[in-house]
Structure formats: C-alpha cells, structure tokens
Amino acid sequence: MAWYNFKKSNEDDRLDEELRAFHGKGEKFLTPAKVKKTSGEGAEDLQLIQGFGNIGLSSFNTFYQRYINKAFENELMRINEYRSMASMSEIADVIEDATNESTQEDETGETLKLNIKDAKLKENENIIGNIDDEFKKLFYEKLDINTKLWDIFRTYYIDGRVFYERIIDTAHPKEGILNLKKLPTESMDYFIDPITGNVLKYFQYLTDRPKRPNTLQEAEESKEIVVFDPNQISFINYGVYGNNKYEILGYLDKARIPYNQLKLLETSVIIYRIVRAPERFVFRIDTGAMPMDKAMKFVEKVKDKMTKKQSYDSTTGRLSQEPEVLSILENFYLPQSSDGRGSQIETVGGNSAGFTELDDLYYFARKLYRALKYPLSRVSAGQEKREADSLFGGSQVAEISRDEVKWARFLERQQKRICDSLLDTFLLHMEFKGLKEQYSLTRENIEITLNSPSHYKEQTDQAFLATEFDNYNALADREEISKSFAMHRYLHWDMDTIKENVAGFRKDKELGLVKAEDKGY
C-alpha cells in the first residue's frame, strides 16, 4: 500500500465474485454444535468472564494498536511517525552517531573513493587518470558530496528513503550531471512494474493532501503531480518492505514498539511519582465523646479555621479571610475518639526516593537501543545498570567490543546501499559525457566506496599479525625448521612473497640501508 489506496480493479471484482461463490458452502459440515464441541477447553467460559475474552482482549488490542504498534493508512503517516521518533533525545543521539560515522573523511578530506576492479582498465594509466578526474569533478567540484552525504544519510536513517533529482542541462547534455536536488520525501511516490519490480515512473505531489492516481496516465494528466523518468531520480531506500514494495520499513521501524513503551512508561512514572511526591499532614482532632455527626462538624470547623488566615485591610479597616498560600486542603482531618485522648499530627506519603528506582525504565531503554542496533557499551554502564559486552583482541590496544563490531558492520551495509546509488549516478554522468561506452564502464568493473565507519578490521588484523610473528620468531631460529618453511607456514607468505623479501635485502645493501656483513644475501 502506498500513501493512498488503489481503486479496486476489475480483477478485484472478479476475486470478490469468486469469494462470494463460497458463501454458505460448508455450513452443513460445521454446525454451531460441532464448532462448540471442537472448541478448546474452557474457551466458551473464558468469553463470559468480565475483563477477559471478547471484552478484555478487544480492549487490550485497541490500546496496543493505538499506542504501541499502530498501523499506518499510508506511507505519509509512517514517515511522520519516524520523524516524531527521531525527536526523542536517545534516538536523536543514535542517528547523529550513525550519520557521523557513515560519512567520515580521510586524511585528505575525502569521503568517497573510486576503485577500478577490472585488470585491463588498470593497465592503462591514461584511462584511469581520465576516469578519476571525471569522478572528482562530479562529486567534489559539482556536487560538493562531503556536505550532501551527511544530509543523505540522516534522511535515510530517519525516513527510511531518500529522493534526489539528477539535474542536467537539456540543451547541453554532454556536460553531464550538474547537481543533485533533494526532493521532500513526503511528497514523492512511484509506480512499480508488477512483473519486474522495477520503478516505471516517479511522481511528486504539489498539494498537501493529494489523492493517489489510479493509473500512470492519470498521473501524467494531473496538474497537481509532476512525473519523473526513472533515470531522473536517485532513489535510496532501506530495502525492507511490508506487504508490498510500496510499504518501506525504515531503520526506525523495529524501534517503534520499544519507543512507544518507553514513552508511555516515562509519562506514567512521572505522573505517578509527582502525585505521590508531596507530603501530607494527618490531623487527628480530639472530639471527646461527641456523636459522629457532631464530631465531623467540629472537625470541619477546625479545618476551616486552619485553612484560612485573617488579614487586615488598612483602607477599609476590615478583617478578611483568605485561603493559605500553601494549600492545606489536601491534608487529612480525622476525628479522634475518646479512647486516645489528645490531638495528633502525623505525616503521610511523600516518596521522594521513587525517582531513584528506575530499573523498569532502564529495561525498556535497553530494548530501544538493541532495536536500533546501537552498542550498549557506549551507554553509561552505571546509568543503564549494565557492563560492556565481551571484547575481541584480548587485553591489548586492539581490543574492541562485540557490539561495536556489529554496529560497524551494520553501518557498512548502509554505506553499500548509498554507494550503489552514487555509482548509478556516476555511470549516468559518464554516459552523458560519452565516456561510459568508450571505456566499457559497468557496475562490475568499477565501484564507489566510503571510508570505513570503524577501524575494527585494522585492529583485529594487527592483533592477528602480532600473533603470527610471535609464532614465527619462536621457531625461526630452530635448526630443524627452515626460515622459508616458517615464513610460509606461520606468516602465510607464498613463494613469490618470500622471494620478494629476499630481493628486498639485496636492495637494502645497494641503497646502503644495511651493512654488507649484516645479511648474507
């Protein structure tokens, strides 16, 4: 389902006719008596219990669907829900970290890199130089990709989709793509080929509350809709769908239930604890042996006297009674029987320590972070009542927590989706320039990559390399083991690498980096 429901087609009408043809069939086999006989034990009685059965379950389901896991009539409602979630401080911090780590710059200030995978292309330095020049001109000079990427990723993580229009000069198409124009996510929609699953056309609504067109022709004829060719739009989505490809479940979708649970619990806890926080007095008024009715009147008289104060008006010279600034009306006034002589004043309530007992909130906060795939080791262990996960790499500098590795791999998958779309943009640009066919560029022989969001790979590789050299050094000087075998077995060098290493020693001698007598090569 997209933003607005499709009108029923003729095929739906035929399907309804087929369904109606089954109406009444099988009733002679499933009579009410047989249905009751085959019901589960206690099922009929459960329906009659107040608070259970139809009444209780329907009430719970209504509450759950309205406040916890509500359904969306269209994609616009889904996007608005995601944006509301993104305003929560915890989720906003996670999105901020995800965006920052996905768009890291290297030491040269670049975020994107072009890699040539084809061996034949690598042999021609002139071609590689031309392709690299076009890549830098497009993304860094024309598009200012370092600035755009941050916005692309943030919108992607919140809305679950991003739409960009590829701008060209139709009068001079050989200049290639000139800019990328971000289109409001809530205004975009598309038609999909039901057979191939590819997008036939994108279109943009120009009104706030549009009606979704039933056909592509209707969209093209509407004055309130702008239709785009598929190549005009760069469309990136999270890749998880609902019942069909019009229902896009974004990054925040799995966090909707814990988010709503946490929000409701925080609200209820605040209301409950604020109401219970004030301390109240209990006044036990000595009424002696008065009858109950007189005792209550006497207590009301004392209450009225204590809750009002007299003030003198210097202008009129009169005494007036006003309620106390601090309301004592919430206090309790109880008559004291003659069994316990004398009035007493006690205190009731006032649970100020309740604000320190937040284990239930921490539980749902952890569920929220896990749904967002965020490393819990980054959350304050003292605040969240939790220690960090186990570490990779032992106790050395290279150690890194397991949930950090999972987080980094998750971000790398999202980077891959963005890079695939940017590669399509680059190939289209090269096609306009007439260079795509000239250099035989395809998605298979070139790729675009982003800087890694984490250095966990380098850290773990360094730890493994250190272990390999420790093993080699322990055996290399033993007479029964040759150095070449130890290099091959424990350093995992092939014969070409070993020969290259030997040649390196000779080169060191030629350059005077080592003394001739130091090495016998």
Per-residue pLDDT, 295: 83
Confidence check: pLDDT of 192 > 50: yes
Residue 151 or residue 469, greater confidence: 151
- Helix (H) or strand (E) segment spanning residue 89: helix 89-102
Residue 513 or residue 368, greater confidence: 368
Confidence check: pLDDT of 339 > 90: no
Residue 273 or residue 447, greater confidence: 447
Taking the alpha carbons at both ends of the chain, their separation in whole angstroms is 73
| Phi, psi at 63, each rounded to 5° | -65, -45
Closest C-alpha among 204, 212, 260 to residue 82: 260
Measured between alpha carbons, how far is 489 from 467 in angstroms, rounded to an integer? 13
CB atoms under 10 Å from CB of 392, counted, come to 16
DSSP of 295-359 = HHHHHHHHHHHHSEEEEEETTTTEEEEEE-SS--TTSEEEEEPTTS-S-EEEEEE--GGGGG--H
List for the chain the helix, strand, coil content (%; round to 5): 50, 15, 35
Written as six digits, the tokens of 172 are 């001079």
- Helix (H) or strand (E) segment spanning residue 424: helix 402-433
Enumerate the β-bridge partners of residue 334: 284
**pLDDT band for position 362 (50/70/90)?**
confident
Per-residue pLDDT, 228: 94
- Mean pLDDT along residues 486-493: 83
Measured between alpha carbons, how far is 186 from 160 in angstroms, rounded to an integer? 11
How confident is the model over 253-303, as pLDDT tens digits? 999 999 999 998 888 888 777 776 666 777 777 777 788 888 888 888 877
- Mean pLDDT along residues 457-466: 69
Closest C-alpha among 468, 510, 464, 459 to residue 486: 468
CB atoms under 10 Å from CB of 216, counted, come to 13
Q: What is the chain's mean pLDDT, rounded? A: 77
Per-residue pLDDT, 371: 93
What is the amino acid identity at position 318?
Answer: R
Structure-derived torsion over alpha carbons of residues 388, 391, 394, 399, reported in degrees to the nearest 10: -100
Written as six digits, the tokens of 488 are 């091959």
| Cα 372 to Cα 57, 69, 136, 292, 390, distances in angstroms | 30, 16, 34, 63, 19
- The rounded percent of the chain whose pLDDT value lies above 70 is 69
Per-residue pLDDT, 284: 75
Confidence check: pLDDT of 178 > 50: yes
- Helix (H) or strand (E) segment spanning residue 49: none
- Helix (H) or strand (E) segment spanning residue 224: none
Per-residue pLDDT, 33: 54
- Mean pLDDT along residues 43-62: 48
Confidence check: pLDDT of 311 > 90: no
Listed as own residue / partner, the contacts of 442-446 with beta carbons closer than 8 Å and 24 or more positions apart are 444/117, 444/118, 445/116, 445/117, 445/118, 445/121, 446/114, 446/115, 446/116, 446/117, 446/118, 446/121, 446/131
Measured between alpha carbons, how far is 363 from 269 in angstroms, rounded to an integer? 14
Per-residue pLDDT, 26: 42
* Rg for the chain, CA atoms, rounded: 37
- Mean pLDDT along residues 149-168: 95
Per-residue pLDDT, 40: 44
**pLDDT band for position 331 (50/70/90)?**
low
Q: How distant is the alpha carbon of residue 181 from its chain centre?
A: 25
Residue 208 contacts residue 35 (beta carbons within 8 Å): no
Per-residue pLDDT, 209: 77
Structure-derived torsion over alpha carbons of residues 37, 40, 43, 44, reported in degrees to the nearest 10: 0
- Mean pLDDT along residues 326-333: 53
Confidence check: pLDDT of 36 > 50: no
> Residue 204, SS3?
strand
Give the distance between the most distant pair of CA atoms in the chain.
Answer: 119
What is the amino acid identity at position 99?
Answer: T
Measured between alpha carbons, how far is 411 from 173 in angstroms, rounded to an integer? 35
For 273, counting Cβ atoms within 10 Å of its Cβ (0-12 exposed, 13-18 middle, 19+ buried), the class is middle
What is the amino acid identity at position 114?
Answer: L
**pLDDT band for position 502 (50/70/90)?**
confident
Confidence check: pLDDT of 53 > 50: no
Q: What angle do CA 518, 520, 521 make, to 5 degrees?
A: 120
**pLDDT band for position 48 (50/70/90)?**
very low
**Tokens 């021609």 label which residue?**
124
What is the amino acid identity at position 299?
Answer: V
What does pTM read for this prediction? 0.69
**pLDDT band for position 60 (50/70/90)?**
low
Residue 494 or residue 421, greater confidence: 421
Per-residue pLDDT, 90: 92
Confidence check: pLDDT of 44 > 80: no
Closest C-alpha among 255, 199, 208, 250 to residue 227: 199
Q: What is the DSSP letter of 517?
A: T
**pLDDT band for position 398 (50/70/90)?**
very low
**pLDDT band for position 57 (50/70/90)?**
low
How confident is the model over 370-388, as pLDDT tens digits? 999 998 888 864 454 444 4
**pLDDT band for position 493 (50/70/90)?**
confident
